């Protein structure tokens, strides 16, 4: 089992607890007094260790609180205590190799990028407070600790004017907070954009311009699926459960289409998804709860591809359906109330497949394109 690159934990204590008061006493101590008296504050004994390897307190707006700023913060914590606020204590812990790999720790020179870790903390706290509805009422202070095997950050949060009595956070808050820490350290936005572009533009976008009926290998599969679609055209969408019975055939057709026309795109997409999955494994680890952060990443992206591509095929089937009805001199129904016999229409269309040649199909497409062009010209003329 691999160790995670980032761990996020929290606990909370009542205003009446000794730990709350000890933290208040700790806040505005001078650095010299902190070093001499750190063992007096049991709340910090577990993780303070050598105070010389602990950064100065920082907050949302300040990288290093001066004495007057510490006094103000102390007063806010005292107000919170007097009003019965809870105090939340967060710990963000990092695997050293993870920080080295992502350029935050220079092992050779023993230099840690404190600025970056402050940014990471602020990003996480912004997400956490918003998810918990504390973004308008809470304040926090934090410090970076370098005294143990793993660098870590401790954060203390209170509400000067309490808005809640419950201390426990939701699972969603924990997941979002941890994800924010990882994403703040590992900026994978460019890779995510590349993956999205392959799916939406490279594959699905190009499908929209290629009629399936022009491909001999795909035509029979296309018509077979079309024959099994529900009468209610509003349900001709990949997300509807009414299409579950044809999805295996739809997937088979999509796989054949992808192999024939987008083999290079699919291979590149798989390579990128595998790399991103591995990086997420390094960040979150493979523990029982940790793997939930990355386990379904690759399958989720593949599902997105199939849903979008499936809808592109289904949209084409609607266009084909409309063409068949126009050839029969029927009006295309505008609601579920206007239904037609699919079996009869498809049987008729199959008999006429020889007549529905590439020329007739393209002729219909050209007419549609001409009408759109005319409308565009009219709109442009009105804008002059």
Residue spans of the domains in the chain: they are 6-185, 189-353
Confidence (pLDDT) at 360: 53
Cβ atoms within 10 Å, residue 165: 9
3-class SS of residue 353: coil
DSSP readout, 73-91? HHHHHHHHHHTT--EEEEE
Instruction: Give the percent of the chain with pLDDT over 90.
Output: 58
Please state whether beta strands 105-106 and 152-158 pair in parallel, antiparallel, or not at all (unpaired): unpaired
Q: What is the pLDDT of residues 184-242, one digit of tens each?
A: 999 888 999 999 999 999 999 999 778 898 898 899 999 999 999 998 888 999 999 99
| Cβ neighbours of residue 197 closer than 8 Å, sequence gap 6 or more | none
Say if CB 48 and CB 126 are below 8 A apart.
Answer: no
Q: Within the chain, which residues score under 50 in pLDDT?
A: 31-51, 335-342, 344, 346, 348, 350-357, 359, 370, 377, 383-384
- Fold that domain 6-185 belongs to in CATH: BirA Bifunctional Protein; domain 2 (3.30.930)
- What gap in Å lies between CA 43 and CA 82, rounded to an integer? 19
Rounded CA-CA distance 154/149 in Å is 15
What pLDDT does 39 receive? 40
At 18, which helix (H) or strand (E)? helix 18-27
Provide the pLDDT for residue 285: 86
Model's pTM, two decimal places? 0.69
Q: What pLDDT is attached to residue 335?
A: 46
d(CA 21, CA 19): 5
**pLDDT for res 272:** 96
Here the contacts of 195-199 (C-beta below 8 Å, separation 24 or greater) are 195/269, 195/272, 195/273, 195/276, 195/301, 198/265, 198/268, 198/269, 198/272, 199/269, 199/301, 199/304, 199/305, 199/308
Q: What is the pLDDT of residue 3?
A: 81
pLDDT at position 19, please?
Answer: 87
């Amino acid at each position: 089992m691999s160790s995670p690159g980032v761990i996020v934990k929290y606990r909370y204590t009542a205003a009446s607890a000794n730990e709350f008061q000890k933290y208040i006493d700790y806040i505005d101590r001078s650095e010299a007094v902190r070093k001499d008296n750190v063992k007096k504050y049991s709340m910090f004994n577990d993780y303070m260790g050598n105070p010389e390897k602990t950064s100065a307190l920082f907050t949302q707006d300040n990288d290093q609180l001066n004495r007057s700023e510490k006094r103000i913060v102390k007063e806010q914590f005292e107000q919170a205590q007097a009003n019965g606020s809870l105090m939340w204590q967060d710990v963000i812990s990092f695997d050293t190799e993870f920080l080295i790999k992502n350029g935050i720790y220079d092992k050779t020179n023993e230099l840690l990028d404190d600025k970056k870790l402050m940014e990471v903390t602020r990003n996480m706290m912004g997400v956490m407070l918003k998810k918990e509805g504390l973004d308008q009422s809470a304040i926090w202070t934090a410090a970076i600790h370098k005294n143990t095997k793993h660098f870590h950050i401790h954060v203390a949060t209170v509400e000067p004017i309490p808005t809640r009595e419950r201390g426990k956070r939701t699972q969603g808050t924990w997941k979002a907070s941890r994800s924010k820490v990882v994403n703040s350290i590992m900026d994978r936005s460019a890779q995510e954009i590349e993956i999205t572009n392959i799916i939406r533009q490279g594959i699905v976008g190009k499908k929209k311009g290629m009629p399936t009926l022009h491909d001999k290998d795909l035509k029979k599969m296309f018509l077979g699926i079309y024959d099994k679609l529900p009468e209610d055209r509003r349900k001709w969408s990949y997300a509807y459960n009414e299409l579950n019975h044809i999805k295996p055939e739809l997937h088979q057709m999509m796989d054949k289409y992808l192999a024939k026309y987008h083999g290079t795109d699919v291979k590149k997409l798989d390579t990128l998804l595998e790399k991103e999955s591995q990086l997420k494994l390094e960040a979150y680890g493979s523990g029982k709860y940790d793997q939930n952060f990355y386990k379904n990443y690759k399958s989720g992206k593949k599902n997105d591809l199939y849903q979008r591509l499936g809808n592109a095929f289904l949209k084409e089937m609607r266009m084909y359906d409309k063409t068949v009805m126009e050839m029969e001199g029927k009006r295309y129904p505008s609601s579920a109330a206007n239904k037609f016999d699919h079996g009869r229409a498809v049987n008729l269309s199959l008999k006429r497949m020889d007549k529905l040649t590439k020329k007739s199909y393209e002729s219909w497409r050209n007419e549609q394109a001409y009408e759109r062009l005319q409308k565009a010209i009219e709109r442009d003329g009105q804008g002059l």
